[in-house]
Chains A and B, each alone.
Chain A
Amino acid sequence: MGILSSPFDKKPNSVTQLMLWVIVATIPGLIAQVYFFGFGVLINILLASFTALITEATILKTRNRPVQRTLFDGSALVTAWLIGLALPPLLPWWMTVVGTTFAIVFAKHLYGGLGNNIFNPAMVAYVLLLISFPVQMTAWLPAAELAQNSLSFYDTLSYIFTGTSSQGYDLNHVRQGVDGFTMATPLDHVKTELSQGYRIVEIQSSPIIGGLSGIGWQWINLGFLFGGIVLLLRKVAAWHIPVGVLAGMMLMSGFLYVLSPDQYLSPLFHWFSGATMLGAFFIATDPVTASTTPKGRLIFGLGIGVITVLIRTFGGYPDAIAFAVLLMNMTVPLLDYYTKPRTYGHSKNQGNRHVR
């Protein structure tokens, strides 16, 4: 439809611009991730991006939609980018392809394509892979400075496509820490140790837990925090969701921490470990699947923060951003419905008065 009536003036912005800004803002975190875990993440991103674009093009064609315009709106690329950032660096290539294809076909297009999906496609892919291949999906590497064996670009490629290094070592070879033990992520480590009866102070003496939340991970989170703040300043994302996520996390973990600092991690540790900052600023802020009202967005974020801490603390998985996001995605229609802002000239409760 062409413009038939006012306004005739238009802010020079577009969906593509917004999407590109999201991608650009992930770069500091991405650099940190490459620094600590090698080139795996870059290969994942490339794999996911190709898969996403090919799948998107195929399905657009099947659905008789304009391929070129929609393909390059950037939305499929952002989904792929987020999947690539979230996956462990040496994940077998076909898992990345399966996850991404599933995200585009099932989580996005079966709902009607961009703008109509209920669930965050990147997180659908992540959860699909996590529950299908729990071992591979939790096989993170030790941060570079803790690793016993260094990892070259060629080895990374080899692991991803063949499952072994160029010299024929299996994955455990590179997952060994300096002390010879297989390394988990700090969150995973804490969970395992706690289950064995250690106290937080004791666990924190472990070499992988250093600084705010653990070698490597704190920097990755700081990188995403920095990029996220850029997004907020550029007004690509509204502040409500990230602030909600961090506040929810702070409230829940703070409460537990005050109850028993021996058993529960501090809010700061939660903030800077795992996928917290990536989730808060880049994943939860996906506008399509988040709440659309200011109050709704705040609650949406709070929910993600609280659920993440609960699952990290009491659930079976070390991290939980993906589950928390999907769970809160389900609440969006309800949140939107009950958090309508007060319209000019209306009294407070009129917003929810309904003729049903």
Chain B
Amino acid sequence: MERSNFTSEIPIYEIPGGIHPEEHKTESNQTAISSLPLAKEFVINLKAQAGNRSAPTVELGQSVLKGQVIAKNDGVFSSFQHAPTSGTVTAIEKRPIAHASGLEDLCIVIKSDGRDSWVKLERNEEYKSLSREQILARIFEAGIVGLGGASFPSHIKLQRSEGIETLIINAAECEPYISCDDKLIQENAVEILKGAEIISHLYNKLNIIIGIEDNKPKAIEAIKVAREKLKLDVKIGVVPTKYPSGGEKQLIQLLTGKEVQQGKLPADLGLVMHNAGTCFAIYEAIIDGKPLVDRVVTLTGNACPKKGNYRVPIGTPVKHLIDSVQTQDYQQLIMGGPMMGFEIHSLHAGIVKATNCIIMAAKSELSQPQDVAPCIRCGECMIACPASLLPQQLYWHAKADEFEKAEDYNLFDCIECGACAYVCPSDIPLVQYYRYAKSSIRNNRLEKIKADKARDRHEARLERIERVKREKAEKHRKAAETRRKAAEASGKNDAKKAAVEAALARVQAKKKAQAEQSDLKPKQDEGS
């Protein structure tokens, strides 16, 4: 694949590990971004962002315009959702979602009226007159989340204002097959840089670095032209093509030589990183007043006859996309890249804000489940790991359910990039073991919390019972006492009198008996 000969404008540091899988990018990045016919029905997943599920604000049968809010945030760690086209809300129910689990979740279904008419948009070239809070609120209300893959709500990432010095635009796009950011930069570099300028403005000017792999020469050229035009000070950091250089932590290490310390955030290094696509979305939200209702998606794979990048409304069902490109027999349908994506289980699921690519893989294009051979401890996985973990030890411990030891080996520093499984000569699905171990540990923690709560409840209950018992006994004792006291109070003298009388009676009875006895006795003494 073509490499840029542009020399990086900032020093580039080394990252450990990494792999060089076949790139497969030229298949999809040769044509301009285009559109597909509008789908008839849109399925908008309300839990498509990191954080809380959005809360629907529309009713069944309600007609909506493109860009109209259909669901709003539930708490601050959540996001807004907008109608991707004009039409009618036909269902608010659980539907299969685009997720590795293949599970269902709450979705809003909109039947398109075919007109695709927008709500009234409020353009605002003069964003600089807005306050920080106002801009953040607009970003929030435009439903913008990180478009690189994690779907982390952008307003939260932008919240912290102290100590930030540098904005890194992540344009590395290191996963094979995907070329949506590459194309977006080629065609909209000006808007992306303007978006970056808006972010910079939020912090009263940041240093801006754009990190990009050297396999995108045209995009690099486009950035050069755009910054010239905007007279914007942007440093281009060209990193060697190596997966996973686009991981947030990895790109930071490549561009700054620094590591985000365990438990810390990039912000602790004075950095904030946003994906190129997110910068574009921020530009559209602030300048054009457009909420995030569509994104660029790479449709590719050997079973896709019209490989390329398409601007696709959020919620477009996968089936509509594969039908629109008239795909031939495909063996596998992958959402995302081949390294970190997942297999699509339901064709009726709608694409989400994080959907950057759909691979329609032909037979034997991607690897098929293999017979797993025993681990021969060759250490290839360790060499490939970008986090300098020991994937092999993690594997042994995960396999043996020795979760504590797996944690000792820093299991939670694994970013699940899949480099280890890619190089494993024994075809061991390593990442799957790590996911298993991680979720088991998380479950155990939850269980522990639950168990602790249950124990606390149980102890509280026992204590309550004990207390009630104690209180009852106390009450009884008090009642008895009161009774006794009351009795004493009312008949104090009688009792005494009675006792005296009883005693007297006893004495008299005794005397009487004695007298009777002496009467019966013969008076022998007197007579003898």
Interface residues of A (CB under 8 A from B): 1-11, 13-15, 17-18, 69-70, 73, 75, 113-116, 238, 287-288, 290, 292-294, 297, 336, 340-347, 350-351, 354-355
Contacts of B21 on A, CB cut-off 8 Å? 9, 11
Interface centre among A290, A297, A345 (most CB of B within 10 A): A345
Q: A11-B423, A18-B425, A288-B377 are in contact. List 6 more A-B contacts (CB 8 A).
A: A3-B369, A5-B429, A9-B418, A10-B422, A292-B392, A340-B409
Say yes or no for B398: interface residue by CB 8 A criterion: no
Contact among B100, B374, B379, B425 for A14, CB-based, below 8 A = B425
Residues of chain A with a CB closer than 8 A to B366's CB: 8-9
Closest CB in chain A relative to B243 CB, distance in Å: 9
Q: Which of A8, A15, A341, A355 has the most CB of B within 10 A?
A: A8
CA distance A16 to B371 in the complex (A): 13
Contacts of B338 on A, CB cut-off 8 Å?
A: 6-9
Give chain B residues whose Cβ lies under 8 Å from the Cβ of A2. Answer: 369
* B-side contacts of A336, CB under 8 Å: 393
Q: Mark B131-144, 1 if CB is under 8 A from A, else 0.
A: 00000000000000
> B340 contacts the other chain (Cβ, under 8 Å)?
yes
Set of chain A residues within 8 Å of B262, measured between Cβ atoms: 343, 345-347, 350
A18 to B375, CA, bound (A): 13
Complex contacts, A292 vs chain B, CB 8 Å: 377, 379, 382, 390, 392-393
What are 15 A-B contacts with C-beta separation under 8 Å?
A: A5-B429, A6-B418, A9-B22, A9-B367, A11-B19, A11-B21, A17-B425, A115-B376, A238-B383, A287-B377, A343-B413, A345-B259, A345-B261, A345-B413, A346-B261
Docked complex Cα distance between A113 and B374 (Å): 9
> What is the CB-to-nearest-CB distance from A7 to chain B, in angstroms, rounded to a whole number?
3
Known: A344-B386, A344-B413. A287 touches B422 (CB 8 A): no
A343 to chain B, nearest CB (A): 4
Beta-carbon contact of A69 and B368 below 8 Å = no
Find out whether the CB atom of B100 lies under 8 angstroms from the CB atom of A5: yes
- Pick the residue among B22, B368, B374, B421 that contacts A7 (CB under 8 A): B421
Q: How far is the CA of A234 from the CA of B409 in the complex (A)?
A: 29
Whole-angstrom distance between the alpha carbons of A345 and B261 in the complex?
4
Identify the 9 closest CB pairs spanning chains A and B, nearest first: A2-B369, A7-B418, A10-B367, A115-B374, A9-B338, A344-B387, A287-B378, A8-B366, A343-B410
Chain B residues numbered 409-450 whose CB sits less than 8 Å from any CB in chain A: 409-410, 413, 416, 418, 421-423, 425-427, 429, 431-432, 435
Known: A11-B21, A11-B422. A355 touches B413 (CB 8 A): no
Name the A residues within 8 Å of B342 (CB-CB): 5-6
Query: Smallest CB-CB separation from B419: which chain A residue?
Result: A7
Q: Which residues of B contact A (CB under 8 A)?
A: 16, 19, 21-22, 100, 176, 249, 253, 259-262, 264, 332, 334, 336, 338-343, 361, 366-379, 382-383, 386-390, 392-393, 404, 408-410, 413, 416, 418, 421-423, 425-427, 429, 431-432, 435
- A346: nearest residue on chain B (CB-CB)? B262
The smallest C-beta distance from B106 to any residue of chain A, in angstroms, reads 24
> Which residues of B have CB within 8 Å of A345?
249, 259-262, 264, 387, 413
Given contacts A18-B425, A292-B379, A355-B408, contact A6 B431 (CB under 8 A): yes
Taking CB as reference atom, which chain A residue is nearest B416? A6
Using CB atoms, name the residue of chain B closest to A344.
Answer: B387
B residues in contact with A6, CB < 8 Å: 336, 338-342, 416, 418, 431
Q: B371 and A69: CB pair below 8 A?
A: yes
CA distance A100 to B421 in the complex (A): 33
Smallest distance from the beta carbon of A326 to chain B beta carbons, Å?
Answer: 17
Known: A115-B377, A343-B387. A3 touches B367 (CB 8 A): yes
In the assembly, what is the distance between CA of A138 and CA of B429, in Å?
A: 46
A9, B374: Cβ atoms closer than 8 Å: no
- Cα of A190 to Cα of B422 in the assembled complex, Å: 50
Are the CB atoms of B388 and A114 closer together than 8 Å?
A: no
- Residues in A neighbouring B393, C-beta threshold 8 A: 292, 336
A280 to B251 alpha-carbon distance, docked (Å) = 38
> Are A13 and B425 interface neighbours, CB within 8 A?
yes
CA distance A351 to B425 in the complex (A): 27
A342 contact from B176, B343, B388, B431, Cβ within 8 A: B388
Give Cα A113 to B375, complex, Å.
Answer: 11
| In contact, B370 and A287 (Cβ under 8 angstroms) | no
With most chain A CB atoms within 10 A of its CB, the pick from B341, B373, B431 is B373
A290 to B392, CA, bound (A): 13
Which residues of chain A are within 8 angstroms of B425 by Cβ–Cβ distance?
A: 13-15, 17-18
In the complex, A269 Cα to B427 Cα: how many Å? 42
Residues of A within 8 A of B431 (CB): 5-7
8 Å CB contact of A15 from B341, B376, B416, B423:
B376
A73 CB contacts on chain B under 8 angstroms: 373
- Given B253, B374, B389, which contacts A114 in the complex, CB threshold below 8 Å? B374
Bound together, the chains give a CA A294 to CA B422 distance in angstroms of: 20
* Complex alpha-carbon distance, A4 and B408, angstroms: 26
**Cα distance A326–B284 in the bound complex, in angstroms:** 67
B339 partner, pick from A9, A13, A297, A347, beta carbons under 8 A: A9
Report Cα–Cα, A294/B431, bound state, in Å: 22
CB proximity of A332 to chain B, nearest CB, Å: 9
Q: Which residues of A contact B418 (CB under 8 A)?
A: 6-7, 9
Give the residue name and chain of the B residue nearest to A237 (CB): B378
Distance A4 CA – B16 CA, assembled complex (angstroms): 27
Measured between C-beta atoms, what is the minimum distance from B416 to chain A in Å?
Answer: 8
B386: nearest residue on chain A (CB-CB)?
Answer: A344
CB distance from A195 to the nearest CB of B (A): 41
CB neighbours (8 Å) of B390 from chain A are 292-293, 340-341
Known: A7-B340, A14-B425. A344 touches B388 (CB 8 A): yes
Bound CA span A336–B408, Å: 13
Residues of A near B339 (CB, < 8 A) are 6-9
User: In the complex, what's the smallest C-beta–C-beta distance from A45 to chain B, in angstroms?
Assistant: 22
Q: How far is the CA of A293 from the CA of B176 in the complex (A)?
A: 29
The answer on a CB contact under 8 Å between A10 and B100 is no
